[in-house]
Amino acid sequence: MKITKIKGILFICAGLFLGLSVNAQDKEQKKIESSTEVLTQFSKMKESIPSELLAVTQGIIVIPKLINAGFVVGGKRGKGIAVVKMPDGSWSNPVFVTMTGGSIGAQIGVQSVDLVLVFRHRSTLTEIKKSSFTLGGDLSVAAGPVGRSSTANTDYKLEAEVYSYSRSKGLFAGITLNGASLNFDAEADQYFYKKAMSAHAIFNSPPSSSPAVKQLKETLTSMK
């Protein structure tokens, strides 16, 4: 009788664990879908990421609905995905990331922004030796030029490693990122890919069969 009860308890626990895993995987899939939607909306805007910059882009991070809050002392928190361009010109599978950071200044209120970070070099993300890095510290970051062509704007020396773009309520908005920390989210990666994998391994893994990932890659490829 006791053995039967133990088996029943184990069966229930296994069911609960499986349910949690499925829910977590769905949550990560929604992050990918939201990131795809952000990129789609960015590409439709009049003031968007210039085609000249996209042509040399080797990595992109998208963080939908980054919370930018402040009352004298501000803070940021958001989750999203990172992808890199492969040697053949295709895009990698996404790696999940988390951004956190703070700032001090004359600010008030809470704001949700869609953030896109454009990387000039693939190796910045694929060969990073730790699970997190700081913008403005480990990597130089600058507000990205806008306009469909370089004639519409300024800095095309492309001296920064990372260019930032943000959108709030349908408009491009300025946001301070120096000091913000980006972390690879190993737990989210494990939930989505169903096994523990390093960011480097995911970037270099065979293309995912997930419809959400396929749509993300198609959207990235269409951005010009």
Question: pTM for the full model?
Answer: 0.80
**Which of these, 179, 173, 82, 172, lies nearest to 137 by C-alpha position?**
179
Residue 117 parent element (H or E): strand 95-119
Q: Compare 23 and 31 and report the one with higher pLDDT.
A: 31
Strands 171-172 and 59-84: unpaired
Q: Does 167 reside within a domain?
A: yes
Locate 107 and state its tokens.
């600010």
Provide the residue range defining the domain that includes 171. Answer: 30-222
62-84 pLDDT, tens digit each: 999 887 665 445 567 889 999 99
Give the whole-angstrom CA distance, residue 86 versus residue 95. Answer: 14
Q: Does 173 map to a domain?
A: yes
Of residues 56 and 18, the one with the higher pLDDT is 56
Q: What is the mean pLDDT of residues 41-51?
A: 81
In a domain? residue 25: no
Q: How many domains does the chain have?
A: 1
Pair of tokens at residue 104: 């001090």
Rounded mean pLDDT of 180-206? 92
